[in-house]
Amino acid sequence: MSETEIRTVLQELAARAGVSLAALSRMLGRNDAYLQQFVQRGTPRVLAERDRKSLAEFFGVPETRLGAASIAGPMLVRRLAVAASAGPGATVYDEVMIGVEALDRQLARRLGLSDGAASVIRVRGDSMAPGLMDGDHLVVDQTDVQPGARGGLYVIRIGDALMVKRVRADSGGLVASSDNPAAPPLPDGPITVVGRVVWQMRLPS
């Protein structure tokens, strides 16, 4: 199915059920405009898998009606030629794909990942040690760019520096911090969220 067809199906299902897109967005735990923006602007480009599953269950239709793949093969996730700094230094985020990683489809579903909306990047440095170590590979959900008050691990960009940090929202905006107390301070500047870390892979030494 094309993206336009998926948006049309969602509108038709909502109209048939007599429920607004704003109400459906709230049901998903999103802001009221989430599905309206998806339908009218194509933002996000694809529905997060957990949202698609919830909508399919609500409407009583198979997930394939809302764009799920009809086959159950592994999910192919882009591996990018960038490193998220967990230490000093900066990396320019240029999103050059150097390969793919195959994730088990059931694992990808549990992680809430959507096809084409996730990537794998490498950790550089030790500012998030001991949880994240230099050389770890992270699966990043690029549809999740709104940290909550409780926070979580996110890949962020401050200027040209791409890094993985613990990020939470407060009344003044986003606050990022390192887990390692010996880590150097973060650079000044506005925080742009690239995506949430949903899985960590550590290669055997």
CB 43 within 8 A of CB 37: yes
Torsion of CA 127, 167, 98, 66, to 10 degrees: 160
**Which pairing describes strands 152-158 and 161-170: parallel, antiparallel, or unpaired?**
antiparallel
How far, in Å, CA of 77 to CA of 118, rounded?
A: 6
Q: Residue 148 and residue 2: Cα distance in Å, rounded? A: 32
pLDDT in tens, 150-183: 999 999 998 888 899 999 999 889 999 999 999 9
- Give the position of tokens 């949430």: 196
Tell me what pLDDT residue 77 has: 87
Q: 68 vs 162, which has greater pLDDT?
A: 162
Q: Helices 49-59 and 3-17: crossing angle, nearest 10°?
A: 40
Per-residue pLDDT tens over the stretch 116-152: 788 899 898 899 999 999 889 999 998 899 999 999 9
Share of the chain above pLDDT 70, in %: 88
The interaxial angle of helices 3-17 and 34-41, nearest 10 deg, is 130
**For the whole model, what pTM was predicted?**
0.62
3 state DSSP class of 117:
coil
